[in-house]
Amino acid sequence: MSAAAEILVPGKAGEGEALVLTAPISFWGGVDPKTGRIADVRHPQHGEVISGRVLFLPGTIGSSSASAVLMELVHNGRAPAALVLHEPDAILLLGLIVAREMGWATPMAVRLGRGLFDTYRGTTVKVAGDGAVTVAA
């Protein structure tokens, strides 16, 4: 399976196990920036680690602090390998932009139709520099 995604924030290409979230998440209080673990006990994937995985986000729940949490994840080496969003989230993506401006290696963020998310569940996914999202061999 391969799909062309729209690049939202350029960054390093990434590869990792797909983590397809089944519900939107708040990064502020929902993700531990020190461990990369989903900390929100109400989230269906509570306890899963996002670090080093290709994170498929069906949506985000709102805090303006989400960008700071994502930036901390990058700084701590706990960021996802890549982010695949259904809809752009300017506040969340600002964390990647600022991290890149700080000179830190940042994962790429792309936009892909939500209807394609489940096709990647349970696979290892590669997000290439051109935005191609493919199942790794």
Q: Looking at the annotation, which residues are catalytic?
A: 63
List of residues 6+ apart from 81 with CB closer than 8 A? 14, 15, 16, 52, 53, 54, 55, 107, 127
Residues β-bridged to residue 6: 111
Given strand 2-4, what is the order of strands in its sheet? Answer: 2-4, 132-135, 124-127, 14-20, 54-57, 82-85, 108-111, 6-9
